[in-house]
């Protein structure tokens, strides 16, 4: 299991800047969905063969200006408690502040190792600017510049030194979808879990040793089997499990990592929050299949329902490929349809796309609408093959493909989706240019 790094520090020290640097990835899977929020707080990165997750706590619940620590958001405290490593950011230009001292005090009780990073040190003498921060008692400070990228790699390598290299693949247990139910506190995750498990008398197993207190529960509906991946709500109670509502960003991200399909549960009464959108963005970034379930639908009048539907369309517009279900977890309404969409999304995520058919679909699409000319050359798309599953990756081969605009790629994506009936999963379309002697010959 990949480690989760949690970035903490008072406002304005550079957490978001560091976050962006840690999660900037040249081969992001499907990160270009239009409308995907730019302002991200949950991300994924890797250094060498060590992948990691990152949480920017600056994005969790607002922190009151006064008494920062006393009021440090509950979600931030939970993230600190559940982190695998903590990066505590301070500001070299401001120097050591009383707020820094209080945060350091709280971090000393954390289970995970803390790495103290002194930011904004570009053009400064590292030993001099970091000197005063030794007294925080959190070990030797790392001098970095998040905005200039200085010292960041060294910091991350130190943070990851204690963690093994791990495999990136989502779980694949022969045809049994791993499903994570995620959503904000009180969205009704536990009710949904209880509804799903309750009718089944729970054939449950946990896998001690694989991850710390990770719980996975198998259940079935008709002849379909599923594995429910815990997001911190499941508790063993004798021979059965019960679900309690709890929210943890870290566990949510880890559950998404271990799932093939994610059910994003929204609370119809609360509407679509920024945090819902951030979680959805992370699901897409990680390429997992997704089904949206809007819960507590029973209690709403027509006007309120319209309002929620508009919100879903506006704030989750980047999930245009995902099914949306309006359900009542409590009454068990809409659950059968929801599971059908989970099945559909799983099938799409795992679909086998044969090269001859992919290529035919590609060439038909090009014939209907050729890619625009760019400079001297017109991109030439020759054939396509499947480069991966969950999410499906379509690799297109040809020449001058660096010049294919994003809009055209989305056109192809839509064409493949339609041709292969791929609903509920992100789909990555990548271009691979063969050697082009004409282009390479030009200086």
Ligand X SMILES: Nc1nc2c(ncn2[C@@H]2O[C@H](COP(=O)(O)OP(=O)(O)OP(=O)(O)O)[C@@H](O)[C@H]2O)c(=O)[nH]1
Query: Is 37 a residue that touches Mg ion (CB under 5 A)?
Result: no
Query: Is 286 a residue that touches ligand X (CB under 6 A)?
Result: no
Instruction: Specify the residue, 8 or 400, whose C-beta has the smaller distance to ligand X.
Output: 8
Q: Which of 44, 50, 120, 409 binds ligand X (CB under 6 A)?
A: 120
Query: Is 177 a residue that touches Mg ion (CB under 5 A)?
Result: no
Instruction: Specify the residue, 119 or 231, whose C-beta has the smaller distance to ligand X.
Output: 119
**Hey, which residues between 284 and 343 contact Mg ion (CB under 5 A)?**
none
Euclidean distance between CA atoms 424 and 344, whole angstroms: 7
Residue 213's φ and ψ, nearest 5 degrees, are: 30, 40
Size of the site for ligand X (CB under 6 A): 16
> Site mask, ligand X, residues 139-178, x = CB under 6 A?
------xxxx------------------------------
Instruction: Specify the residue, 69 or 270, whose C-beta has the smaller distance to ligand X.
Output: 69
In whole angstroms, how close is the CB of 17 to Mg ion at the nearest point?
8
Task: Give the one entry of Mg ion, ligand X, none that residue 11 binds, where binding means its C-beta sits below a cut-off of 5 to 8 angstroms depending on kind.
Answer: ligand X
Q: Which of 16, 37, 273, 359 binds ligand X (CB under 6 A)?
A: 16
Euclidean distance between CA atoms 346 and 341, whole angstroms: 8
Q: Which of 76, 78, 119, 425 binds ligand X (CB under 6 A)?
A: 119
Residue 24: Cβ-neighbour burial (10 angstroms; 0-12, 13-18, 19+): exposed
Task: Give the one entry of Mg ion, ligand X, none that residue 21 binds, where binding means its C-beta sits below a cut-off of 5 to 8 angstroms depending on kind.
Answer: none
Q: Which tokens sit at 269?
A: 């009464």
Nearest residue to 295 via CA among 423, 180, 181, 200: 181
Q: Which residues contact 169 (CB under 8 A, 6 or more apart)?
A: none
Euclidean distance between CA atoms 97 and 99, whole angstroms: 5
**Hey, which residues between 36 and 65 contact ligand X (CB under 6 A)?**
58
Buried b (16+ CB within 10 A) or exposed e, 209-233: eeeeebbbbbbebeeeebbbbbbbb
In whole angstroms, how close is the CB of 205 to ligand X at the nearest point?
41
**Hey, which residues between 47 and 76 contact Mg ion (CB under 5 A)?**
58
Query: Is 75 a residue that touches ligand X (CB under 6 A)?
Result: no
Q: Which residues contact 207 (CB under 8 A, 6 or more apart)?
A: 214, 216
In whole angstroms, how close is the CB of 12 to Mg ion at the nearest point?
8
Is the torsion defined by CA of 265, 271, 272, 276 positive or negative? Answer: negative
In whole angstroms, how close is the CB of 202 to Mg ion at the nearest point?
41
Query: Is 97 a residue that touches ligand X (CB under 6 A)?
Result: no
Instruction: Specify the residue, 16 or 25, whose C-beta has the smaller distance to Mg ion.
Output: 16
Query: Is 15 a residue that touches ligand X (CB under 6 A)?
Result: yes
Task: Give the one entry of Mg ion, ligand X, none that residue 12 binds, where binding means its C-beta sits below a cut-off of 5 to 8 angstroms depending on kind.
Answer: ligand X
Strand ranges (DSSP E) for 128-237?
Answer: 142-143, 178-182, 203-206, 215-221, 224-229, 234-237
Query: Is 16 a residue that touches Mg ion (CB under 5 A)?
Result: yes
Residue 271 is classified by DSSP as B
Nearest residue to 203 via CA among 219, 223, 190, 214: 219
- Placement of tokens 């449950």 in the chain: 204
Instruction: Specify the residue, 19 or 321, whose C-beta has the smaller distance to ligand X.
Output: 19
Instruction: Specify the residue, 78 or 295, whose C-beta has the smaller distance to ligand X.
Output: 78
Q: Which of 17, 23, 195, 403 binds ligand X (CB under 6 A)?
A: 17
Task: Give the one entry of Mg ion, ligand X, none that residue 145 binds, where binding means its C-beta sits below a cut-off of 5 to 8 angstroms depending on kind.
Answer: ligand X
Stretch that binds ligand X, among 14-22, 125-133, 232-240, 320-328 (CB under 6 A): 14-22
Cα dihedral value 233, 235, 241, 243, nearest 10: -30
- What is the SS3 assignment for 21? helix
Q: Which residues contact 81 (CB under 8 A, 6 or more apart)?
A: 110, 111
In whole angstroms, how close is the CB of 74 to ligand X at the nearest point?
17
Query: Is 14 a residue that touches Mg ion (CB under 5 A)?
Result: no
Instruction: Specify the residue, 151 or 392, whose C-beta has the smaller distance to ligand X.
Output: 151
Euclidean distance between CA atoms 412 and 371, whole angstroms: 10
Residues interacting with ligand X, by CB under 6 A?
A: 9, 11-17, 58, 119-120, 122, 145-148
């Amino acid at each position: 299991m990949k480690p989760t790094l949690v970035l903490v520090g008072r406002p304005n020290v550079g957490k978001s800047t560091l976050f962006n640097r840690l999660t900037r990835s040249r081969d992001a899977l499907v990160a270009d969905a239009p409308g995907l929020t730019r302002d991200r707080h949950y991300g994924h990165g890797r250094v060498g063969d060590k992948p990691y997750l990152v949480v920017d706590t600056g994005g969790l619940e607002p922190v009151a200006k006064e008494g920062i620590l006393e009021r440090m958001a509950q979600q931030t405290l939970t993230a600190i408690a559940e982190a695998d490593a903590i990066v505590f950011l301070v500001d070299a230009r401001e120097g050591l502040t009383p707020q820094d001292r209080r945060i350091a005090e709280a971090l000393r009780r954390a289970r995970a190792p803390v790495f103290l990073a002194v930011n904004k040190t570009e053009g400064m003498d590292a030993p001099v600017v970091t000197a005063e921060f030794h007294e925080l008692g959190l070990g030797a400070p790392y001098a970095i510049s998040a905005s200039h990228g200085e010292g960041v790699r060294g910091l991350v390598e130190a943070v990851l030194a204690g963690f093994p290299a791990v495999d990136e693949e989502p779980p694949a247990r022969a045809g049994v979808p791993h499903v994570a139910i995620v959503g904000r506190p009180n969205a009704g995750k536990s009710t949904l879990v209880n509804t799903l498990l309750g009718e089944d008398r729970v054939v449950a197993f946990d896998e001690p040793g694989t991850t710390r207190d990770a719980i996975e529960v198998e259940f079935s509906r008709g002849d379909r089997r599923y594995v429910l991946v815990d997001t911190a709500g499941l508790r063993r109670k004798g021979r059965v499990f019960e679900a309690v509502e709890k929210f943890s960003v870290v566990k949510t991200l880890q559950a998404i990592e271990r799932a093939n399909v994610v059910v994003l549960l929204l609370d119809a009464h609360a509407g679509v929050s920024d945090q819902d959108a951030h979680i959805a963005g992370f699901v897409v970034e990680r390429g997992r299949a997704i089904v949206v379930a809007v819960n507590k639908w029973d209690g709403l009048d027509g006007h309120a329902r319209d309002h929620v539907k508009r919100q879903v369309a506006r704030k989750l517009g980047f999930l245009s490929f995902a099914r949306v279900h309006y359900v009542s977890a409590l009454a068990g309404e809409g659950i059968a349809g929801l599971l059908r969409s989970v099945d559909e999304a799983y099938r799409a995520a795992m679909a086998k796309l044969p090269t001859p058919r992919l290529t035919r679909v590609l060439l038909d699409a090009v014939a209907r609408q050729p890619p625009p000319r760019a400079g001297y050359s017109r991109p030439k798309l020759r054939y396509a093959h499947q480069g991966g599953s969950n999410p499906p990756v379509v690799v297109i081969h040809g020449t001058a493909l660096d010049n294919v605009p994003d809009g055209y790629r989305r056109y192809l994506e839509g064409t493949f989706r339609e041709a292969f009936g791929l609903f509920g999963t992100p789909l990555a379309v990548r271009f691979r240019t063969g050697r082009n002697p004409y282009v390479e010959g030009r200086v």
